[in-house]
Amino acid sequence: METGGVNTSLPKSEADPVSPSWWLRQLDAIGGHIIHFVRTVEGLVAFALITLGVAFTKFNASARVIHPLLRAQIYRAGLRLLPMTSFLACALGLVIIGQMVALLTRVGAQNFAGTVMVTVVVRELGPLVAALLVLARAGAAYVIELGTARALGEVEALEALCIDPIHYLVLPRVIGLALAIFSLTVYFILVALLSGYLFAFVQDVPLLPGDYFKQLAVALTWEDFALLAFKTCSFGVVIAVVTCYQGLAQPLQIEEVSGATTRAVVQSVVACVLLDVLFIVVYLVM
């Protein structure tokens, strides 16, 4: 019977989750996500290669302008984060390392303290915490700065003055972030290992400072130092490339900057974790 009312129900093919058209739409959505992902990776790789090319061809060009920018980025992403890094290193040292040393001692495995510390703090916790800290404090700000500069036409103004935006805006950030994350990681590791032992010490754990540091020295190999430097610099490069890409590579309106910032943070975290997995494989192979 005709009711005359508005039919708000979906057609059967759209509502039915087992109909062919429903599956086609799901496949379409998945395909769209895959294409978007591939294009993003393609854009990031292209941007990284362009930056690398500029780094090789113009590294020492316009040193009077670029070197102060580089120092400013190291100060901003490195030195200014020392108080926060100290706090986090102490807190994680107390919470994780102190408890771990106490636990190992309780089960009579205090001889493995050094190995566990190197694995947990030097290889994993230090680089990742430093990278995430720099991403939160400096990386997100990069997207906002560069996205706003792009939206306001400052990047075109640089080009009008024949100033390469990659050289002027991106290169100091990439090098600055790489050096900053490396330095902060080293600082984080030292403070975390020290504060962790202090926590264990006040808990009357029978592990002398000399024994503790001797175990650390024995557990550390030259590969740890080399891979630590390589890994932390890689984190810095990845974060800088992703954040600069999201801020600069596409024309943005002011209202799109916040979305670009969110995308950059998510992509940076995913990229760092994937890179970390890659380094774990390298450690396991070695």
Partner 1 sequence: MNENVSLAGVGGPVIELVNVSVGAGGRPDSAALEGINWRISAGDYWVVGGLPGSGKSDLLATMAGLYRPLSGTLKVFGSDVAELSEDDFMAARLRIGLVFESGGRLFNQLSVAENVALPLRYHRSQPGVEASERVKAILDATGLTPWAESTGGRINLARRQRVALARSLAMSPEALLLDNPLGGSGLQEARWWRDFLAQLAGGHELLRGCPMTLVVACHDLRPWADQGKQFALLKQKRWLAVGGRAELTCSDEPLLHELLATEFGVGQPGG
Residue 64 in the binding site for partner 1 (CB under 8 A): yes
Residue 65 in the binding site for partner 1 (CB under 8 A): yes
Residue choice 46, 49, 63, 270 for contact with partner 1 (CB under 8 A): 63
| Residues in CB range of 181: below 8 A, 6 or more apart | 77, 127, 130, 131, 134, 232, 233, 235, 236, 239
Output the 3-class SS for 25-57.
HHHHHHHHHHHHHHHHHHHHHHHHHHHHHHHHH
Q: Alpha-carbon distance 125 to 132, whole Å?
A: 10
For partner 1, the closer CB: 151 or 191:
151
Q: How far is CA 192 from CA 6, 119, 121, 200, in A?
A: 66, 13, 8, 12
Minimum CB separation from partner 1 for residue 62, in Å? Answer: 5
For partner 1, the closer CB: 118 or 169:
169
Residues between 107 and 146 with contacts to partner 1, criterion CB under 8 A: 145
DSSP 111: G
Residue choice 52, 144, 154, 263 for contact with partner 1 (CB under 8 A): 154
Residue 221 in the binding site for partner 1 (CB under 8 A): no
Q: How many residues does the chain have?
A: 286
Q: Which region among 21-29, 114-122, 147-155, 256-264 touches partner 1 (by CB under 8 A)?
A: 147-155
For partner 1, the closer CB: 116 or 141:
141
Minimum CB separation from partner 1 for residue 65, in Å? Answer: 5
Residue 49 in the binding site for partner 1 (CB under 8 A): no
For partner 1, the closer CB: 153 or 209:
153
Token pair for 112: 């493995």
Residue 168 in the binding site for partner 1 (CB under 8 A): yes
* Measured torsion, CA atoms of residues 34, 40, 43, 48, in degrees rounded to the nearest 10: -120
Residue 161 in the binding site for partner 1 (CB under 8 A): yes
For partner 1, the closer CB: 14 or 156:
156
Q: Alpha-carbon distance 71 to 49, whole Å?
A: 23
Residue choice 102, 116, 120, 163 for contact with partner 1 (CB under 8 A): 163
Q: Which residue has the tokens 């680089």?
A: 127
Residue 159 in the binding site for partner 1 (CB under 8 A): yes
Q: Which region among 85-93, 116-124, 152-160, 237-245 touches partner 1 (by CB under 8 A)?
A: 152-160
247 touches 144 (CB < 8 A): yes
